[in-house]
Amino acid sequence: MLFVDKNKSRTLKLHKQLLIFFLSITVFLVIIFTKTPVSIRLDVSRAATPMVLPLSTIGRTIVDAQGKVVLLRGVNWFGMETDTHAPHGLWKRDYKEMLAQIKNLGYNVIRLPYSVAALRSLDVSGIDFGIGSNQELEGKTPLEVMDLVIQEAERQGLLILLDSHRLNDLQIPELWYGDGFTEADWIDTWTMLAIRYKNQTNVIGADLKNEPYGKASWGDNNISTDWRLAAERAGNAILNVNPNWLIVVEGVEKNVPGQKLPQHWHGGNLEGVKRYPVCLSRSNKLVYSPHEYGPGVYNQPYFSASNFPKNLIDRWQIGFNYIASQNIAPILIGEFGGREVDLNSKEGIWQNELVKYIQKNNLSFTYWSWNPNSSDTGGILLDDWQSVDLPKQQLLSQLLSSVQVQPPDQPSNPPASPTPTPSVSPCTTPSISPTPTPSVSPSTTNIAQLKVTTDINSNWETGFCVSFKITNQGNTKVNNWQLAFYMNQTKINNFWNADFKQQGAIQYVVAPLDWGKTIEPNQVRDTGFCANKLGSDYQPQQISAVSI
């Protein structure tokens, strides 16, 4: 005979009813708090395959440490690049609560803008230290505020992509230097961050410079304006101290030899990659990142074309997506956004078309912006810094169900491009040639046809990086060349675009890779290295280049 304790049964029933009641209240509060349909939240909160960091690239894909394909789907949370020196909205919200909401809406990465000036400052503002966890930020420098935001993001399961958005706190410069800052200031800031966050695994990379425009060029080998070459210098300096980071390189606006499209957004023109790729010491760390906006930001002529919106697909393919479709490198759309998401306004149509394009092509993105105080785009949050812009979030939620790690088609080797593209200039990871390179005496006088420009573009306590620009000043092409120099109290640890060989105690000979042997008249070949300092006498001396 089964004995039933009726009092215990009634107690369990009461506990069950109370549990259901409190769960119902919790769901109700979540809906009211985020003003987001539960269907969206449930859709994006499915169990995830663990992502194993760090990230790298295979062909067109970003992959984790186990070769699983990763789609970065995130938001821009700005403020550290402004005069507050802190992410915006903390005058209304607890920063931990803000990060939790980003995670719960289904995003997996935050692009975090900063200015060089902010990270050199001691002061923050725009924070109510009386709100919850914000008291932890009181008395902290901007860099220490960044530390705490990044550490909490890690606890919440969010990745961070750092973005050098401005040099000063006021405006976005055309180039990577200016506004009272030098190239060395820019690179030194990056190397400082790369070292500081080397063991902070959720910091996945560096978006080297926000929106080069105006004078910025790509592929013209003008050392003062060619953004591609500057990206190589900064990217290699970062990888020298932190080889785990992704190096994210935006486009320019114009000044690209042979570009097909007459208009591009600032940072949106990546047409030059095909002929003039960025060459890093670690080629599997490179990601290209266009920015794309609608007529709510600026009414470009193509929004009024008779074939709008069908003309957008060709624009995006020519401007940036050929890089992914030809298996050159991954694409991360670092910024896109706008106030209108309907199917009637031009901006709404544009934004819907781009979301479909991102979904179809499996592209990564960080949406501009999380903040509501972006004047021409608005944000995912409304002006109260708590409520969610439901139509906007519903549009983006089409992309968020696929933020989890997915198995790659070919996990071990880069997939072969279905259509060979021989016109794409190769970026070969430097390797030591098995055949000895003939020695060239450093005392040899340069042939007048070749000129070498040397630049120590990054210099810190224990190491430095050097770039060499070899220019053909003659009227005929050079079919092969060599560079030689002396260097003492130094140990080279990586190099790019050529083979570096030590001959004797302090003599070095540099030979180009096969694709870089020929130098046309007025063309420049770029190579360089990073090294550890073994003493104070470390700089290269008696540098010479010869045609052979």
Any idea which residues carry the catalytic annotation? 211, 335
Q: Residue 397 has which token pair?
A: 């939620």
Helix ranges (DSSP H) in 92-182: 95-104, 116-119, 142-156
Would you tell me the crossing angle of helices 346-361 and 390-400 to the nearest 10 degrees?
20
The rounded radius of gyration (Å) of the Cα atoms in the chain is: 26
Specify whether the CB–CB gap between 353 and 303 falls below 8 A: no
Number of neighbours of residue 386 by Cβ within 10 angstroms: 18
Specify whether the CB–CB gap between 468 and 457 falls below 8 A: no
Q: Residue 124 has which token pair?
A: 């923050």
Q: Which of 444, 427, 397, 458 is nearest to 542 (CA)?
A: 444
Cα–Cα dist 214/216, whole Å: 5
Q: Residue 324 has which token pair?
A: 């992914």
- The residues near 509 (Cβ < 8 Å, ≥ 6 apart) are 437, 438, 439, 440, 482, 483, 484, 500, 501, 503
Q: Residue 530 has which token pair?
A: 């990073």
With H, G, I as helix, E, B as strand and everything else as coil, classify residue 318.
helix
Bridge partners (DSSP) listed for residue 201:
none
Number of neighbours of residue 257 by Cβ within 10 angstroms: 13
Tokens 């097909």 locate to 260
> Letter for the amino acid at 500?
F
Tokens 């989890």 locate to 404
Phi, psi dihedral angles at 209 (to 5 degrees): -155, 130
User: Which helix or strand (DSSP H or E) is residue 454 part of?
Assistant: strand 450-459
